Amino acid sequence: MATDSLHFLSGKRIVVAGAGVAGLAFAIGLRKQWPSTSPPPTLAIYERDTQDNAIGREGYSLSLRSDHPGGLQALQKLGILDEILAACVVTIDRTHGAGFCLWDRDFKELIKIASVEPPGLPVGGARIARNKLRTVLVDGAGAVGCEATWGVAATAAVRRDDGRLEVQLSNGEKDVCDLLIAADGANSRIRAQLRPDDKLTFRRVQALSATSRFDGPPPEPVNRDYGMVLSGTGTALFVSPVDDRSAVWSLSWYSDVERETKKSPVSADDAAALLAEARTHLGKFPPLLGTMIDATDPATLMTFNAKDKAPFRHTDEAYPDVIFLGDANHAVSPFAGNGANVALNDGWDIARLLCSSESLREAVKAYDDVSVPRSTKVWKQSHFNISMSHSTGWKSWFYVLMLRLMALFFFRQYRLKHGSEQK
């Protein structure tokens, strides 16, 4: 970007729809990378949930990765990696030895992927409760002067006669801006308005999930490792620690129809019915599942359908000043195990490119060039994970054999590439 003229966004107003992972990463990234030669734009962040609901209700955990697409690297660039690692329940490194596992129905370990720390990073991966990730991001945004307006959603955008965007808010007010960052999640209202045909696709998987609470650490190996139990029956079980006294379990299976989605907290009657439903799967898995079901916090029970959508490039000439990030652009199901990592990179990259480009068009094209291939890879990987997790019979064992060979190959290649740097 030329230094003898003002930046094209200098003094402009940017509205961010959504104070989730992508929206907050963008806000932090923009503030940290803004060129000192130009006055910065103003930022207004709107989040539909209240701050208590947005952070307090998200008790499940998620993966932070150093492999593709590099969520840990994005957090390091944002300057909040140390705070994130301090909040993690599990770190994957040579000291702790934790990792992602595939177990058989007797809880025998089939595969364990415990990443070696890449150069420049203290760990190779981590698990963190989503509410803690969001807390660190909110604090990080506040530290650079970005405060969200909670309990108010951006619901629509229209073009004004002067060429600017008028953003309709859920409280009946309006905000006028020069750039709209749509980071309002998989069920994005902005996408529904501007791209009504770009909808989520049901991937024929239903899931039932909850968090178990214990008086002490969760039972082994869920006190440290996380991953999928392959039953070979078409039903999969995912387990993971959430903190030092709780762990999440999630049962999933193929279905041709979507089930009614129930969000926590559910009613007492629904909780009893869902726990009874979970117990019908006990014979497919080791006793650990029964232990976790017995320790379930009924308020955390939930059901969902696995859905996703392919990423898209920004080619809408009518709204070149609306940029979609994270799940609003390329939603992935939980089986991707990578949604937060992609969202972190989306936020950082669009901020970086807006700061360094000569024009909005140049920045958006460059963003699409890096974001679309990255998210497409994760989107396709989630489909493989669904097929592998819910496979039956010989197909299940074929997947295990293939994954073992892949793990050996990639680990060997990684050690050959980085081994000398670890000494």
pTM listed for this prediction: 0.92
Higher pLDDT, 396 or 381: 381
- 131, 144, 146, 150: which is closest to 51 by C-alpha? 150
Around Cβ 57, how many Cβ atoms within 10 Å?
A: 16
What was the pLDDT predicted at 4? 57
Could you read off the pLDDT of 295-329 as tens digits, one per residue? 999 999 999 999 999 999 999 999 999 999 999 99
pLDDT for residue 73 is more than 80? yes
Encoding tokens for residue 85?
A: 């690692």
What was the pLDDT predicted at 251? 98
pLDDT for residue 179 is more than 90? yes
pLDDT for residue 423 is more than 50? no
Q: Are 396 and 232 in contact (CB under 8 A)?
A: yes
pLDDT for residue 345 is more than 60? yes
Please compute the mean of the pLDDT values over residues 58-71 and round it to a whole number.
84
pLDDT for residue 337 is more than 90? no
Domains and their CATH numbers in the chain: 13-99+123-199+310-389 (3.50.50.60)
Q: Are 360 and 320 in contact (CB under 8 A)?
A: yes
pLDDT for residue 106 is more than 60? yes
Encoding tokens for residue 27?
A: 């806000």
What was the pLDDT predicted at 107? 85
Higher pLDDT, 220 or 351: 351
Q: If you write DSSP's letter for every residue of 163-205 in order, what string do you get?
A: S-EEEEETTS-EEEESEEEE---TT-HHHHHH-TT---EEEEE
What was the pLDDT predicted at 87? 93
What was the pLDDT predicted at 394? 77
What was the pLDDT predicted at 408? 67
Q: How many Å apart are CA 423 and CA 421, to the nearest integer?
A: 6
Q: Are 93 and 122 in contact (CB under 8 A)?
A: yes
Q: How many Å apart are CA 183 and CA 154, to the nearest integer?
A: 10
Lowest mean pLDDT among 41-55, 115-129, 260-274, 406-420: 406-420
pLDDT for residue 358 is more than 60? yes
Around Cβ 202, how many Cβ atoms within 10 Å?
A: 16
Could you read off the pLDDT of 400-414 as tens digits, one per residue? 777 777 666 655 555
Q: How many Å apart are CA 64 and CA 270, to the nearest integer?
A: 32
What was the pLDDT predicted at 420? 43
